[in-house]
Structure 1
Protein backbone atom coordinates (compact mmCIF):
# COMPACT_ATOMS: atom_id res chain seq x y z
CA UNK A 1 0.00 0.00 0.00
CA UNK A 2 2.81 2.40 0.87
CA UNK A 3 4.55 1.70 -2.43
CA UNK A 4 1.37 2.51 -4.36
CA UNK A 5 0.98 5.82 -2.50
CA UNK A 6 4.62 6.76 -3.14
CA UNK A 7 4.27 5.86 -6.80
CA UNK A 8 1.08 7.91 -7.11
CA UNK A 9 2.73 10.90 -5.40
CA UNK A 10 5.71 10.67 -7.76
CA UNK A 11 3.40 10.61 -10.80
CA UNK A 12 1.42 13.63 -9.54
CA UNK A 13 4.58 15.70 -8.93
CA UNK A 14 6.14 14.76 -12.26
CA UNK A 15 2.89 15.65 -14.06
CA UNK A 16 2.76 19.04 -12.31
CA UNK A 17 6.36 19.76 -13.25
CA UNK A 18 5.72 18.69 -16.82
CA UNK A 19 2.65 20.95 -17.04
CA UNK A 20 4.90 24.00 -16.96
CA UNK A 21 4.87 25.20 -20.54
CA UNK A 22 6.35 28.05 -22.53
CA UNK A 23 7.37 31.33 -20.93
CA UNK A 24 7.30 34.60 -22.85
CA UNK A 25 8.89 37.79 -21.50
CA UNK A 26 8.22 41.25 -22.92
CA UNK A 27 10.24 44.25 -21.72
CA UNK A 28 9.44 47.91 -22.36
CA UNK A 29 12.83 49.60 -22.79
CA UNK A 30 11.61 53.13 -22.09
CA UNK A 31 10.09 52.43 -18.66
CA UNK A 32 11.85 49.18 -17.77
CA UNK A 33 8.52 47.42 -17.16
CA UNK A 34 8.58 43.66 -17.67
CA UNK A 35 5.67 41.29 -18.32
CA UNK A 36 6.07 37.51 -18.21
CA UNK A 37 3.36 35.21 -19.57
CA UNK A 38 3.54 31.49 -18.80
CA UNK A 39 1.28 29.13 -20.73
CA UNK A 40 0.94 25.66 -19.29
CA UNK A 41 0.05 22.50 -21.16
CA UNK A 42 -3.13 22.09 -19.10
CA UNK A 43 -4.50 25.37 -20.47
CA UNK A 44 -3.86 27.72 -17.57
CA UNK A 45 -2.10 31.03 -18.13
CA UNK A 46 -0.02 32.88 -15.54
CA UNK A 47 0.83 36.56 -16.05
CA UNK A 48 3.42 38.39 -13.95
CA UNK A 49 4.06 42.12 -14.33
CA UNK A 50 6.83 44.22 -12.87
CA UNK A 51 6.90 47.96 -13.17
CA UNK A 52 10.06 49.77 -14.17
CA UNK A 53 12.44 51.65 -11.93
CA UNK A 54 11.43 54.76 -10.08
CA UNK A 55 13.32 57.99 -10.79
CA UNK A 56 15.46 57.49 -7.69
CA UNK A 57 16.11 53.87 -8.64
CA UNK A 58 17.10 54.89 -12.16
CA UNK A 59 19.51 57.52 -10.78
CA UNK A 60 21.09 54.93 -8.48
CA UNK A 61 21.43 52.50 -11.40
CA UNK A 62 22.99 55.19 -13.62
CA UNK A 63 25.45 56.10 -10.83
CA UNK A 64 26.42 52.45 -10.45
CA UNK A 65 27.03 52.12 -14.19
CA UNK A 66 29.08 55.34 -14.25
CA UNK A 67 31.26 54.14 -11.38
CA UNK A 68 31.78 50.80 -13.13
CA UNK A 69 32.81 52.57 -16.36
CA UNK A 70 35.18 54.92 -14.53
CA UNK A 71 36.74 51.97 -12.69
CA UNK A 72 37.40 50.16 -15.95
CA UNK A 73 38.90 53.28 -17.50
CA UNK A 74 41.14 53.89 -14.47
CA UNK A 75 42.22 50.26 -14.41
CA UNK A 76 43.23 50.40 -18.06
CA UNK A 77 45.23 53.60 -17.48
CA UNK A 78 47.04 52.07 -14.50
CA UNK A 79 47.82 48.91 -16.46
CA UNK A 80 49.17 50.88 -19.41
CA UNK A 81 51.31 53.05 -17.13
CA UNK A 82 52.73 49.98 -15.39
CA UNK A 83 53.61 48.41 -18.74
CA UNK A 84 55.33 51.60 -19.91
CA UNK A 85 57.27 51.88 -16.64
CA UNK A 86 58.28 48.23 -16.82
CA UNK A 87 59.57 48.56 -20.36
CA UNK A 88 61.50 51.75 -19.44
CA UNK A 89 63.13 50.02 -16.48
CA UNK A 90 64.02 47.06 -18.67
CA UNK A 91 65.54 49.36 -21.31
CA UNK A 92 67.53 51.27 -18.67
CA UNK A 93 68.84 48.06 -17.12
CA UNK A 94 69.92 46.83 -20.53
CA UNK A 95 71.77 50.13 -21.21
CA UNK A 96 73.58 49.91 -17.87
CA UNK A 97 74.57 46.32 -18.64
CA UNK A 98 75.97 47.34 -22.02
CA UNK A 99 78.02 50.18 -20.47
CA UNK A 100 79.39 47.84 -17.82
CA UNK A 101 80.56 45.36 -20.42
CA UNK A 102 82.24 48.17 -22.41
CA UNK A 103 84.19 49.38 -19.37
CA UNK A 104 85.38 45.87 -18.52
CA UNK A 105 86.64 45.21 -22.03
Structure 2
Protein backbone atom coordinates (compact mmCIF):
# COMPACT_ATOMS: atom_id res chain seq x y z
CA UNK A 1 0.00 0.00 0.00
CA UNK A 2 2.82 2.38 0.91
CA UNK A 3 4.66 1.63 -2.34
CA UNK A 4 1.53 2.37 -4.35
CA UNK A 5 1.04 5.71 -2.60
CA UNK A 6 4.67 6.66 -3.19
CA UNK A 7 4.35 5.71 -6.83
CA UNK A 8 1.23 7.83 -7.26
CA UNK A 9 2.88 10.78 -5.50
CA UNK A 10 5.90 10.49 -7.79
CA UNK A 11 3.68 10.41 -10.86
CA UNK A 12 1.80 13.47 -9.67
CA UNK A 13 5.05 15.39 -9.18
CA UNK A 14 6.37 14.35 -12.58
CA UNK A 15 3.21 15.37 -14.41
CA UNK A 16 3.03 18.68 -12.51
CA UNK A 17 6.61 19.51 -13.44
CA UNK A 18 6.02 18.49 -17.06
CA UNK A 19 2.93 20.71 -17.31
CA UNK A 20 4.80 23.66 -15.81
CA UNK A 21 7.48 23.42 -18.49
CA UNK A 22 7.30 25.89 -21.36
CA UNK A 23 5.62 24.27 -24.35
CA UNK A 24 7.41 26.38 -26.98
CA UNK A 25 10.27 24.45 -28.56
CA UNK A 26 13.80 25.26 -27.52
CA UNK A 27 15.54 27.81 -29.69
CA UNK A 28 17.44 25.98 -32.40
CA UNK A 29 21.23 25.99 -32.09
CA UNK A 30 23.23 26.36 -35.28
CA UNK A 31 26.84 25.23 -35.46
CA UNK A 32 28.97 26.22 -38.44
CA UNK A 33 32.18 24.30 -39.16
CA UNK A 34 34.68 25.14 -41.87
CA UNK A 35 36.47 22.06 -43.14
CA UNK A 36 40.11 21.85 -44.23
CA UNK A 37 39.11 21.84 -47.89
CA UNK A 38 37.19 25.11 -47.48
CA UNK A 39 33.65 23.73 -47.47
CA UNK A 40 31.21 24.80 -44.79
CA UNK A 41 29.13 22.41 -42.76
CA UNK A 42 26.08 23.83 -40.95
CA UNK A 43 24.24 21.79 -38.32
CA UNK A 44 21.09 22.87 -36.54
CA UNK A 45 20.07 21.27 -33.27
CA UNK A 46 16.55 21.46 -31.94
CA UNK A 47 14.96 19.34 -29.30
CA UNK A 48 14.31 18.92 -25.66
CA UNK A 49 16.31 20.45 -22.91
CA UNK A 50 18.04 18.21 -20.40
CA UNK A 51 15.22 18.83 -17.93
CA UNK A 52 12.56 17.86 -20.47
CA UNK A 53 14.41 14.67 -21.41
CA UNK A 54 14.83 13.78 -17.73
CA UNK A 55 11.11 14.28 -17.12
CA UNK A 56 10.24 12.02 -20.04
CA UNK A 57 12.61 9.37 -18.73
CA UNK A 58 11.00 9.66 -15.29
CA UNK A 59 7.52 9.21 -16.77
CA UNK A 60 8.68 6.16 -18.72
CA UNK A 61 10.28 4.65 -15.63
CA UNK A 62 7.14 5.31 -13.57
CA UNK A 63 5.06 3.62 -16.25
CA UNK A 64 7.34 0.61 -16.17
CA UNK A 65 7.08 0.41 -12.39
CA UNK A 66 3.28 0.62 -12.58
CA UNK A 67 3.21 -2.12 -15.20
CA UNK A 68 5.46 -4.38 -13.12
CA UNK A 69 3.37 -3.72 -10.03
CA UNK A 70 0.18 -4.65 -11.90
CA UNK A 71 1.78 -7.86 -13.13
CA UNK A 72 2.92 -8.74 -9.62
CA UNK A 73 -0.58 -8.19 -8.24
CA UNK A 74 -2.07 -10.35 -10.97
CA UNK A 75 0.47 -13.10 -10.32
CA UNK A 76 -0.23 -12.96 -6.58
CA UNK A 77 -3.96 -13.20 -7.17
CA UNK A 78 -3.45 -16.28 -9.34
CA UNK A 79 -1.31 -17.91 -6.66
CA UNK A 80 -3.87 -17.12 -3.98
CA UNK A 81 -6.66 -18.53 -6.14
CA UNK A 82 -4.72 -21.76 -6.66
CA UNK A 83 -4.05 -22.12 -2.94
CA UNK A 84 -7.71 -21.51 -2.07
CA UNK A 85 -8.86 -24.03 -4.66
CA UNK A 86 -6.37 -26.63 -3.43
CA UNK A 87 -7.48 -26.09 0.18
CA UNK A 88 -11.13 -26.43 -0.81
CA UNK A 89 -10.39 -29.69 -2.61
CA UNK A 90 -8.54 -31.04 0.42
CA UNK A 91 -11.41 -30.06 2.70
CA UNK A 92 -14.04 -31.66 0.47
CA UNK A 93 -11.97 -34.84 0.25
CA UNK A 94 -11.62 -34.94 4.02
CA UNK A 95 -15.36 -34.40 4.50
CA UNK A 96 -16.14 -37.08 1.95
CA UNK A 97 -13.75 -39.50 3.67
CA UNK A 98 -15.23 -38.71 7.08
CA UNK A 99 -18.74 -39.24 5.77
CA UNK A 100 -17.76 -42.62 4.33
CA UNK A 101 -16.19 -43.67 7.61
CA UNK A 102 -19.28 -42.57 9.51
CA UNK A 103 -21.64 -44.38 7.17
CA UNK A 104 -19.58 -47.56 7.26
CA UNK A 105 -19.48 -47.41 11.07
CA UNK A 106 -23.24 -46.94 11.16
CA UNK A 107 -23.75 -49.92 8.84
CA UNK A 108 -21.54 -52.07 11.05
CA UNK A 109 -23.50 -50.99 14.13
CA UNK A 110 -26.84 -51.85 12.53
CA UNK A 111 -25.48 -55.19 11.32
CA UNK A 112 -24.36 -56.04 14.88
CA UNK A 113 -27.76 -55.06 16.27
CA UNK A 114 -29.51 -57.22 13.68
CA UNK A 115 -27.28 -60.15 14.55
CA UNK A 116 -28.06 -59.73 18.23
CA UNK A 117 -31.80 -59.58 17.63
CA UNK A 118 -31.81 -62.79 15.62
TM-score w.r.t. the length of structure 1 is 0.52
How much is the aligned-residue C-alpha RMSD, in angstroms? 1.9
- Flag as ranges the 4+ runs of structure 1 deviating above 2 A: none
Structure 1 unaligned blocks of 5 or more: 1-32, 34-48
* Equivalent residue pairs, number: 58
TM-score w.r.t. the length of structure 2 is 0.46
Measured after TM superposition, the shift of residue 51 of structure 1 is: 2.2
Q: How does 1:74-89 map to 2 (within 5 A)?
A: 74-89=69-84
Q: Which has the higher strand share?
A: 1
Q: Which has the higher helix share?
A: 2
**Which structure's CA Rg is the greater one?**
2
Structure 2 unaligned blocks of 5 or more: 1-27, 29-43, 101-118
Structure 1 counterpart of 2:46: 51
Q: Residues 39-98 of structure 1, C-alpha deviation per residue, up to 9 Å, x if partnerless?
A: xxxxxxxxxx99211111001100000000111111111111110000000000000000
